Every structure is written in structure tokens, then in C-alpha cells.
Amino acid sequence: MELVSCYPLFLLGLLSVSLAYVEPPTNVTLRCHNLHNILEWDYGILLPDIRFKVTIQPYSGSLLVFWVEPQELQLDISSLSDSGNSYYLEVIAVVGENESEPAPRKGITFSYFQDSLTRQKCSLDLPPVNVTTEPYDHVQYRFIHPWLWHHQTLSDNPNPKSRQKKSNDAPTKNQLPQFSYAVLVGSQKKQHYYSCVKPVCEKKIPVDNAQEKHCLNITGEVDRMAVKSTQLYCAMPLMPPEENSYIIYIVIIMLILTTTLLVIVLVYKKKTRASTPFPTSMVCS
């Protein structure tokens, strides 16, 4: 009889536990690149009154808590791009006073510091590079300083949350951090090492003129953040001087011949018109 009397209480407890259980978010991912950081996740059935709590613990600093409405399922955390810090984050589903288990199980750690021990390291793309071939077996390259390029891009972002990124640290052309980088030309094994603190980084470097084209791979670091090329930047070799002179000579000769022929035609027309007699009917008696 005691077992029978306890059975409804057991069912009631089981029911309360099942009602209190909240499914955790799934597929929690972070895309952090070029100082633009987006946290995303999925969720099955969106229960009434459900919200999502994102907790972020910086290595240096206080715990940060963000609340996200169910229809969004993402959070812009571009303001957390300090290369001098690293971060641990979790996403929790909340219904009333009940919370899910944090997701993912081991959380996400990330940092823009290229030598950090976090599982996810964020980096910057090298800005577009213009490469031109110069005389005497050299090429010249030019690109905007990466720090200036990415902060300008961030300030142009229409999302106000992205523009929160350390407004006090917005760079000016007179106080850019040093960009240290290496340039590898084609299949050469030797790298060229340079640094840049100007708004536009440019340099002339020697190349092998026997190569069909000259391609550069540029990598480096600025403010402890890795900067990587997204492609090879190439320039075609200059045409040898003798080939250039041949083309010039041919063009000059063609112009002379064309001009001479035009003069001959005009002189011929003038002479033939002057020697043509008037019709008899037009001569006055």
C-alpha cells in the first residue's frame, strides 16, 4: 500500500522535472575575422517565453552577459576584438526560471592574439595589393596599412553593434601601429622582411626577370594579430626595350606612309581639276 501511495508522488516529481528541462542550443559557432565577430546557434522548437543568455568571460575583465530574443539566434560581438585579451563564451536557453545546459559542452575560447592558447584564433586579411613591374628587374607593390584598412571598414559598417569596437582606439594616420611583414616572390625561398607605420605601405623589391610573371605572397602581424594574404598578387614583366622600340618604329613608319599617301592624293586631285576644260556651251562668244 505504501508503494501505491508513493506512486502518484513519483509521477508528479517526474512531471515537474520534465517540465523544468530545457533543451540546450545546438550548432553553436563563432565566426571571427577582420574584427567582425558573429556568434550563431540553432534551436529546435521555440517555446513561449524562451530567451537565450550568452555569457562571455574575458581572460582579463568581468563577466559579460547578453540576452538575445528567440527570432535572432545570433549575436554580434565585434566589440570583443582586443588582441591583448582572450575570451570564453557559452550560450544558454532560458524559459522562465529554468535554464538549459550551457552549449557547447566545452564552451568556445577565442582571441585575436596570434600566439594565444585558445582553440579558435582570429586573423585579419591583407588589404588589396597593387603590384607593378619596374625597370631593371624590380616590382613595386602598394597597399593600405592593415590596421587603417580594417578600422575604416568597421566604421563604415551599418550595424551599430559592430561600430562599438573600441571607438577610443580608432586609428589616425599619425599613430598607426607597426605592421611587420614578410614578402615571398614567386618560387624564391628567400623572404624579404619589412615594416610599415605609414598609411600606405609600398616598396620596390628585386625579381627574376626571366620569370613569366611576378607574384607576391605577403604575411605579417600588426598589434599581435596575424595578417594573411587571401591570394597571390601578380604583375607581368616589362617588355624588353628593343621590342618596345620596334613597335615605336613601326608606328612612326606607318604614320609617315599614311601622311605621304594623303598628300599625293590631294595634289593629284588638285591638278586633275585644274586641267579639265570647260564645256563648249559654257564658253561666252
The pLDDT tens digits along the chain (285 residues) read 454 454 444 433 433 444 579 999 999 999 999 999 999 999 999 999 999 999 999 999 999 999 999 999 999 999 999 999 999 999 999 999 999 999 999 999 999 999 999 999 999 999 999 999 998 889 999 999 999 999 987 776 666 555 555 444 555 666 899 999 999 998 788 899 999 999 999 999 998 877 888 999 999 999 999 999 999 999 877 666 555 556 666 778 888 888 887 778 777 677 776 555 545 554 444
Q: How crowded is residue 29: how many other Cβ atoms within 10 Å of its Cβ?
A: 13
Are residues 109 and 146 located together in one domain of the fold? no
Are residues 230 and 185 located together in one domain of the fold? yes
Residue 13: what pLDDT?
42
Are residues 228 and 145 located together in one domain of the fold? yes
Are residues 101 and 145 located together in one domain of the fold? no
How many domains are there within the chain? 2
Residue 54: what pLDDT?
99
Are residues 27 and 45 located together in one domain of the fold? yes
Are residues 227 and 139 located together in one domain of the fold? yes
Residue 164: what pLDDT?
53
Are residues 134 and 74 located together in one domain of the fold? no
Residue 71 in domain? yes
The last residue of one of the domains, among 121, 155, 170, is 121
Are residues 115 and 179 located together in one domain of the fold? no
Domain residue limits at 70: 15-121
Are residues 99 and 163 located together in one domain of the fold? no
User: Is residue 201 exposed (0-12), middle (13-18) or buried (19+ Cβ within 10 Å)?
Assistant: buried
Residue 58: what pLDDT?
98
- Cα(106)–Cα(39) distance, integer angstroms: 15
Are residues 104 and 165 located together in one domain of the fold? no
* CA distances to 268, 271, 280 from 277, in Å: 16, 12, 9
Considering only the C-alpha atoms of the chain, give the largest distance between any 2 of them, rounded to a whole number of Å.
Answer: 156
